[in-house]
Amino acid sequence: MANTKDRGDAVREAFERRPLYTIEKGEAFRVGLETGGAVLWSMKTIAGKLGIAVRTLERLRAEGRFPEPDFRLNAKIIRWCPETVQAWLERARELAAER
């Protein structure tokens, strides 16, 4: 999990130094060369991969049941590292198995 946070920090630091980015097909957000071209996921991408509605994901965030974004350009452009989402999903599975 430390790697996930470190990668998110690297992404934020890269944008503070030099805000270069491109949006690919409205789905993934690719960060500039400083971060090694890390791919970040949008809410739409995450919802599609989880098979849930974007609104459901928004509700999970509002309830504090989904991790904070790894990158925030402004109020509307927020993204997560795939590793952050995977760690959250694994933890959710562990909690479900305990019940």
Q: Answer whether residue 24 is part of any domain.
A: yes
Question: How does pLDDT run across 40-96, given as a tens digit for each residue?
Answer: 889 999 999 999 999 999 999 999 999 999 888 888 888 898 899 999 999 999 988
Q: How does residue 20 score in pLDDT terms, banded at 50, 70 and 90? A: very low
Q: Answer whether residue 99 is part of any domain.
A: no
Say if pTM beats, i.e. exceeds, 0.95.
no
Task: Give the list of residues 6+ apart from residue 56 with CB closer than 8 angstroms, or none.
Answer: 47
CATH number of the domain that residue 88 is part of? 1.10.1660
pLDDT at 18: 43
Round to whole Å and give the CA distance between 25 and 38: 16
How many domains are contained in the chain?
Answer: 1
